[in-house]
Amino acid sequence: MYIPKSHTSGNRAQGLFDKDRFIYKSEENEYECPAGERLKFRTTMKQDGKNIFRYWASVCGKCAMKGNCMTGKERRVSRWEHEDVLDGAEDRLNANWEMMTIRSATVEHHLGRLNHGWDTRTS
């Protein structure tokens, strides 16, 4: 299945680095930030019934890139426990981008027409 990964980010809207700028290192279970620092796994939390892993570094306050990255004292990155599945799907889509063209022609058009019909109905 070819479904694009959602890339919404409050940080991007504020002009800050979004999560895409951080590289996940699965062997170490850490993220690498744009400045080359490691954000280590710190805690797990529940959000909407999902396990979310949280990562951060303690050196963010001294970083030269701080103004591009965060507004608080440290940058925290969250990762869903099954995010590797989403990453794999994104990698497949990037390797076969022509599939998105086919999807948009065969699926998205019809879904858009259905949604438009539902949105304009009167009760």
Q: What is the pLDDT of residues 36-75, one digit of tens each?
A: 999 999 999 999 999 999 999 989 888 889 888 888 888 9
**This prediction's pTM:** 0.68
**Domain that residue 109 falls in:** 10-119
Mean pLDDT value of segment 4-27? 77
Q: What is the pLDDT of residue 111?
A: 62
Classify residue 56: in a domain, yes or no. Answer: yes
Classify residue 94: in a domain, yes or no. Answer: yes
Q: What is the pLDDT of residue 69?
A: 87
Classify residue 1: in a domain, yes or no. Answer: no
87 pLDDT tier (thresholds 50, 70, 90): confident
40 within 8 A of 55, measured Cβ to Cβ: yes
**Residue 20 has which token pair?**
């895409």
Q: Give the 3-state secondary structure of residue 73.
A: coil
Give how far the C-alpha of residue 65 lies from the chain's centroid of Cα atoms, to the nearest Å. Answer: 20
33 within 8 A of 39, measured Cβ to Cβ: yes
Classify residue 4: in a domain, yes or no. Answer: no
Classify residue 23: in a domain, yes or no. Answer: yes
Structural domains of the chain, count: 1
Classify residue 5: in a domain, yes or no. Answer: no
Classify residue 93: in a domain, yes or no. Answer: yes
